[in-house]
């Protein structure tokens, strides 16, 4: 498990005085999770990344990886600790003077692993990321997607506990993005490595993350499992991940109904109408795939003078289906929504 | 007045002069390369944005480099006579010329190396650091290999510069093609031999430039 415990980072510059890039980042990422950290630009994502891959020392708080505090290490221990966190970069950052195989082997070479062992590990990783036959190519001869595959293989080479991804698909086209996201899920499942993914793209979170956190102005303002977030009608982050049209916000008699997996496919809506003899109309919604799960989200108009208590009682008996009245919801933070795509 | 020597008659002398030039340039280039790379790495690493920022060291080194570089070679040659005698035992001849050639070459090449290292994307250096590389590993496995094409191109430039400077070594009886051209062309008005010297120099410089460019081109996929 990796925990960020009240992480803070303040830059001191002569020109601008103290700049607080991170004020309070507290989050614990369970083993095997794909943790998304989303935030608008300027929220502190880059600073957080540089603190997490230990390129910068936080000015407050701790990073605890499987019980070890990584924030108070001597320089030799720091180098060893860096090997426990593999980083995948937005712009790949491969060495262009080296072949694919030698790029993948670099972390092992730096750690002093013997050539034979290194070669065996490289072969394994080449297969894992699907680059068979390209081992002796140079990065300049590869497409962006292939380069990112090399980047992922390289980050995994030293068998890190955590794979840290910095906007791993922002430099790629949509088709390639989806292949790389599939690869990350595959790596997460087959190797069991915990992934921390920093991004401004909600689509990435929707697609692969099991957990999500919202970073805003240097602090984590909300976090949780993606399923909990999207089924919690009061969650701003859940609203961002699976949004409902803003025009409906506050309309009386309209409720947001969320259903998970099998429940999303069941005819509870018609059952509801029959049971109560109601005329109900669906004003927005659909079934979305979030990670491996199906989430049905419907905005349903029961009419302004509906007996809310009776409806709520029905939903209390159906724990797979959640209900929330839109006029009781807080409007999602629209400035963040606009920043995040 | 005696008959002027034709270029054919001067061939043995031309050959010796060519060998002397190649000797001076080659030895001073090896020294320039080794110390220039070291100095260039130091300049890059101690820079404000480098691996180990050290503004005082950086400024001191930079000043020395600039001072030596601002000196015309002919002046440096004369200034260094004492030092040359101390190192080589004599201030005359091709071996003696190696000292001022190297001293002129090192700071020039150091700047070339520094520039090539500055061209290496910062992200690649940080990626290696984030993998747990030591500063020495970053220099050996990232900075120098990634800057290799730039360093090769800069070596071509430096070699040509050394060939040019080595011609001035004739002033201290350094031998080589420049000396020969000076003796025949300037002191004896023998244009034929002068021209022959010039042609050999042109061919030499062309050869260096073309091999350098060819090597850089052959590495295009590694950039």
Beta bridge partners of A60: A8
In this structure, are A51 and A138 located in the same domain? yes
Close Cβ partners of A47 (under 8 Å, ≥ 6 residues apart): A9, A21, A22, A56, A218
Dist CA A209 CA A197 (whole Å)? 8
Where in the sequence is the domain holding A304, given as residue range(s)?
232-339
pLDDT classification of B1: cutoffs 50, 70, 90: very low
Instruction: Convert A286-316 to b/e letters by CB count within 10 Å (16 or more is b).
Output: eebebbeebbbbbbbbbeeebeeeebeeebe
Task: Say if B2 falls within a structural domain.
Answer: no
**CB < 8 Å to A80, chain B:** 132
Out of A82, A94, A140, the one facing B132 most closely (by C-beta) is A82
Quick one: what percent of chain B has pLDDT higher than 70?
99
In this structure, are A263 and A206 located in the same domain? no
Dist CA A99 CA A231 (whole Å)? 47
Cα B119 to chain center, whole Å?
Answer: 21
User: What is the structure's pLDDT at A304?
Assistant: 79
Nearest to A236 by CA among A260, A205, A261, A213: A213
Distance from CA of B123 to the nearest CA of A (A): 6
Between A233 and B48, residue with greater pLDDT: B48
| Interface contact flag, B128 A140, Cβ < 8 Å | no
Task: Give the CATH number, domain containing residue A322.
Answer: 3.30.70.260
Dist CA A96 CA B219 (whole Å)? 10
Distance from CA of A158 to the nearest CA of B (A): 9
| Interface contact flag, B222 A94, Cβ < 8 Å | no
Residue pair B124/A93 in contact (Cβ under 8 Å)? The answer is: yes
Between A264 and B148, residue with greater pLDDT: B148
Close Cβ partners of B40 (under 8 Å, ≥ 6 residues apart): B109, B110, B111, B112, B113, B114, B116, B117
Task: Say if B112 falls within a structural domain.
Answer: yes
Close Cβ partners of A40 (under 8 Å, ≥ 6 residues apart): A200, A216, A335, A336, A339, A340
Mean pLDDT across B169-183: 82
Task: Say if B5 falls within a structural domain.
Answer: no
Task: Say if B195 falls within a structural domain.
Answer: yes
Distance from CA of A138 to the nearest CA of B (A): 7
In this structure, are A253 and A152 located in the same domain? no
Where in the sequence is the domain holding B115, given as residue range(s)?
11-222
Task: Say if B1 falls within a structural domain.
Answer: no
Out of A83, A94, A138, the one facing B131 most closely (by C-beta) is A83
Residue pair A284/A245 in contact (Cβ under 8 Å)? The answer is: yes
Task: Give the CATH number, domain containing residue A145.
Answer: 3.40.50.300
In this structure, are A197 and A307 located in the same domain? no
**CB < 8 Å to B123, chain A:** 89, 91, 93
Six token digits for residue B4: 């002027």
Mean pLDDT across B117-129: 96
User: What is the structure's pLDDT at A16?
Assistant: 80
User: What is the structure's pLDDT at A337?
Assistant: 62
Out of A54, A80, A95, the one facing B146 most closely (by C-beta) is A95
Residues of B with CB under 8 A from a CB of A: 121, 123-124, 126-134, 137, 141-142, 145-146, 148, 220-223
Distance from CA of B197 to the nearest CA of A (A): 40
| Interface contact flag, B130 A55, Cβ < 8 Å | yes
| Interface contact flag, A98 B126, Cβ < 8 Å | no
Statement: residue B5 has pLDDT above 90: no
pLDDT per residue as tens, chain A (341 positions)? 899 999 999 998 888 888 899 999 999 999 999 999 999 888 889 899 999 988 989 999 999 998 889 988 888 889 989 999 999 999 999 999 999 999 999 999 999 999 999 999 999 999 999 999 999 999 999 999 999 999 999 999 999 999 999 999 998 999 999 999 999 999 999 999 999 999 999 999 999 999 999 999 999 999 999 988 988 877 889 888 887 776 776 678 888 888 887 777 777 778 888 888 888 888 888 777 887 788 888 888 888 788 888 888 888 888 778 888 877 765 555 556 666 65
Instruction: Convert A80-118 to b/e letters by CB count within 10 Å (16 or more is b).
Output: ebbbbbbbbbbbbbbbbbbbbbbbbbbbbbbbebeeeeb
Q: What is the pTM of this model?
A: 0.87
| Interface contact flag, A93 B121, Cβ < 8 Å | yes
Six token digits for residue B101: 């050639």
Six token digits for residue B210: 């073309």
Residue pair A255/A324 in contact (Cβ under 8 Å)? The answer is: yes
In this structure, are A48 and A171 located in the same domain? yes
Task: Say if B175 falls within a structural domain.
Answer: yes
User: What is the structure's pLDDT at B181?
Assistant: 86
Distance from CA of B138 to the nearest CA of A (A): 9
Task: Give the CATH number, domain containing residue B66.
Answer: 1.10.3720.10
Domain boundary among A210, A225, A240: A225
In this structure, are A80 and A129 located in the same domain? yes
In this structure, are A145 and A188 located in the same domain? yes
Residue B54 Cα distances to A295, B36, B39, B117, angstroms: 56, 19, 14, 17
Q: Nearest-CA residue of chain B relative to A110?
A: B133
| Interface contact flag, B132 A107, Cβ < 8 Å | yes
Residue A232 CB burial class (10 angstroms; 0-12, 13-18, ≥19): middle
Distance from CA of A89 to the nearest CA of B (A): 8
In this structure, are A174 and A241 located in the same domain? no
For helices A115-128 and A100-111, angle between their N-to-C axes, nearest 10 degrees: 130
In this structure, are A185 and A93 located in the same domain? yes
In this structure, are A133 and A221 located in the same domain? yes
Task: Say if B62 falls within a structural domain.
Answer: yes
**CB < 8 Å to A142, chain B:** none
In this structure, are A136 and A199 located in the same domain? yes
Q: Nearest-CA residue of chain A relative to B149?
A: A97
| Interface contact flag, A89 B123, Cβ < 8 Å | yes
Task: Say if B118 falls within a structural domain.
Answer: yes
Close Cβ partners of A315 (under 8 Å, ≥ 6 residues apart): A257, A321, A322, A323
Dist CA B43 CA B147 (whole Å)? 15
Beta bridge partners of A164: A87, A196
Q: How many domains does chain B have?
A: 1
Q: How many domains does chain A have?
A: 2
User: What is the structure's pLDDT at B98?
Assistant: 93
In this structure, are A95 and A54 located in the same domain? yes
């Amino acid at each position: 498990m990796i925990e960020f415990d009240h992480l803070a980072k303040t830059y001191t510059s002569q020109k601008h005085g103290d700049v607080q890039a991170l004020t309070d980042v507290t989050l614990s990422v369970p083993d095997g999770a794909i943790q998304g950290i989303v935030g608008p630009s300027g929220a502190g994502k880059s600073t957080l990344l540089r603190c997490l891959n230990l390129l910068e020392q936080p000015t407050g708080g701790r990073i605890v990886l499987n019980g070890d505090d990584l924030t108070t290490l001597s320089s030799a221990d720091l180098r060893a600790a860096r090997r426990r966190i593999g980083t995948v970069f937005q712009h790949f950052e491969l060495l262009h003077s080296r072949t694919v195989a030698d790029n993948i082997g670099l972390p092992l070479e730096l750690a002093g692993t013997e050539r034979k062992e290194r070669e065996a590990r490289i072969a394994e990783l080449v297969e894992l990321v699907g680059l068979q036959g390209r081992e002796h190519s140079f990065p300049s001869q590869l497409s962006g997607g292939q380069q990112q595959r090399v980047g992922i293989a390289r980050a995994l080479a030293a068998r890190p506990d955590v794979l840290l991804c910095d906007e791993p698909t922002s430099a790629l086209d949509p088709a390639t993005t989806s292949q790389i996201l599939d690869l990350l899920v595959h790596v997460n499942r087959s190797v069991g490595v915990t992934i921390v993914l920093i991004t401004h793209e909600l689509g990435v979170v929707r697609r692969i993350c099991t957990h999500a956190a919202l970073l805003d102005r240097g602090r984590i303002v909300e976090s949780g499992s993606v399923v909990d977030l999207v089924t919690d009608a009061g969650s701003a982050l859940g609203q961002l991940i699976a949004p409902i049209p803003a025009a409906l916000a506050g309309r009386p008699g309209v409720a947001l109904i969320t259903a998970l997996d099998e429940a999303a496919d069941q005819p509870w809506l018609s059952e509801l109408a029959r049971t109560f003899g109601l005329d109900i109309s669906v004003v927005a919604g659909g079934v979305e795939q979030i990670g491996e799960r199906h989430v049905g989200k419907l905005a349903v108009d029961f009419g302004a003078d509906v007996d809310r208590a009776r409806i709520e009682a029905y939903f209390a008996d159906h724990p797979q289906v959640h209900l929330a009245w839109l006029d009781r919801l807080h409007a999602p933070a629209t400035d963040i929504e606009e920043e995040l795509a | 007045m005696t008959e002027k020597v034709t270029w054919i008659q001067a061939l043995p002398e031309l050959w010796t002069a060519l060998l002397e030039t190649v000797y001076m340039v080659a030895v001073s280039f090896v020294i320039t390369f080794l110390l220039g790379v070291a100095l260039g790495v130091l300049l890059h690493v101690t820079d404000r944005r480098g691996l180990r920022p050290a503004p005082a060291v950086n400024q001191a080194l930079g000043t020395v480099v600039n001072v030596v570089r601002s000196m015309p070679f002919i002046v440096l040659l004369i200034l260094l006579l004492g030092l040359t005698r101390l190192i080589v035992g004599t201030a005359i001849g091709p071996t003696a010329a190696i000292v001022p050639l190297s001293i002129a070459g090192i700071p020039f090449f150091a700047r070339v190396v520094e520039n090539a290292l500055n061209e290496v994307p910062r992200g690649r250096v940080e990626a290696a650091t984030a993998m747990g590389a030591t500063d020495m590993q970053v220099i050996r496995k990232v900075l120098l290999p990634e800057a290799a094409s730039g360093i090769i191109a800069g070596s071509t430039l430096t070699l040509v510069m050394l060939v040019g400077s080595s011609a001035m070594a004739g002033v201290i009886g350094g031998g080589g093609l420049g000396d020969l051209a000076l003796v025949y062309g300037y002191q004896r008005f023998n244009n034929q031999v002068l021209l022959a010297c010039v042609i050999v120099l042109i061919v030499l410089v062309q050869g260096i430039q073309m091999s350098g460019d060819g090597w850089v081109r052959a590495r295009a996929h590694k950039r």
